[in-house]
Amino acid sequence: MIEELNELNSYIIDKIEENDELLLELEKYAVENRVPIVTKEVAKYLEFMAEILKSKNILEIGSAIGYSGIILAKVAKKYNGKLTTIEIDEDRYNIAKINFEKAKLTNVNIILGDALDVISGLDEKYDFIFLDAAKGKYMDFFKKSYEKLNAGGVVFIDNILFRGYVNKIDYPKRYKTIVKRLNEFIDYLYKNHDFVLLPFGDGIGLVKK
């Protein structure tokens, strides 16, 4: 089943045409420098969901090099809104900041720091939250950010299936803690929230408040 899904993902990716030169540049940079960014099909679905909800105020946890942030900031801009994005790694923070400037996006507030510390200090509410950071801390990130979500808003969680390891018995031992925590997180979401789990990309979780 996983192999069939991977084949379908490849089919979808081949159908997606990206004309934004900066995004294409960032895709290439990510591959060459092994920076994890959202895959093309997930990027399109992320944009689609944020657009459907007419998301004005967006929070991103995990800026990386600004790839997904550029996509989300453009959606927010349509509704005279903004993106707040948090990155813990200083090098990636600096790269993302430059890329937002290249994209000529002035509606971005990028914050350097640990999201677990930063989120508590945010005094705004958000229509859409994108979670794509340290997988072992997803539960903590979610609980803190969910408090900042407007009613009717959505939390979009990427990589929640973690390479399919959450459904496997045999996987590298170094990932034992992450896999255990993600399984606990998925169980928690099903039991306590309006949650759906989608098996494409590396697994997407959607929570509606």
Annotated binding site for Mg(2+): 132, 158-159
Distance of CA 205 to the CA centre of its chain: 10
Can you state the angle between helices 138-146 and 176-192, rounded to 10 degrees?
30
The closest of 206, 158, 160 to 181, measured between CA atoms, is 160
Residues of the binding site: 38, 68, 87, 114-115, 132, 158-159
Contact 156, 46 (CB under 8 A): yes
Residues of the binding site for S-adenosyl-L-methionine: 38, 68, 87, 114-115, 132
Distance CA 28, CA 119 (A): 31
Q: 166 vs 42, 183, 201, CA distance in Å? A: 19, 6, 14
Side-by-side strand order, sheet with 57-61: 108-112, 82-87, 57-61, 126-131, 149-158, 204-208, 194-198
